[in-house]
Amino acid sequence: NAGVTQTPKFQVLKTGQSMTLQCAQDMNHEYMSWYRQDPGMGLRLIHYSVGAGITDQGEVPNGYNVSRSTTEDFPLRLLSAAPSQTSVYFCASSYSSLGSGANVLTFGAGSRLTVL
């Protein structure tokens, strides 16, 4: 099993450019989510999905779009990149959308994005 796969691992953008961070999982997980990691602030939830066709906003959704057309994929789109979106992005998934004691998030390896 590959687990949670994120691409690309590194990306440099210019202000105003658009791009998509890809996230794919092969574990048949219902729940998928995107976090951003910034120094001193830990990880913050951007968007999440509890199943195909269902998405919702997290703590810091502005400037990002998501969609969930299949169970496996959950891409994160930046329509017009800004320097404030320079960060490390993590995709994470879990088996159940309901959450339980045995339900833990599996994280991807992260994508470092720099916006100039």
Q: Which residues bind another protein (CB under 8 A)?
A: 31, 33, 35, 40-45, 48, 58, 88, 90, 92, 94, 97-101, 103-105, 107, 109-110
Smallest gap from Cβ 92 to another protein, in A, equals 8
CB 92 within 8 A of CB 106: yes
Burial of 44 (0-12, 13-18, 19+ CB in 10 A): middle
Q: What is the DSSP letter of 60?
A: S
CA distance 65 to 88: 17
Length of the chain equals 116
Residue placing its CB nearer to another protein in the complex, 67 or 103 = 103
Question: What are the structure tokens assigned to 111, written together?
Answer: 């994508």
Residue placing its CB nearer to another protein in the complex, 42 or 62 = 42
Smallest gap from Cβ 80 to another protein, in A, equals 26
CB 85 within 8 A of CB 76: no
Residue placing its CB nearer to another protein in the complex, 63 or 110 = 110
Smallest gap from Cβ 112 to another protein, in A, equals 8
Residue placing its CB nearer to another protein in the complex, 26 or 59 = 59
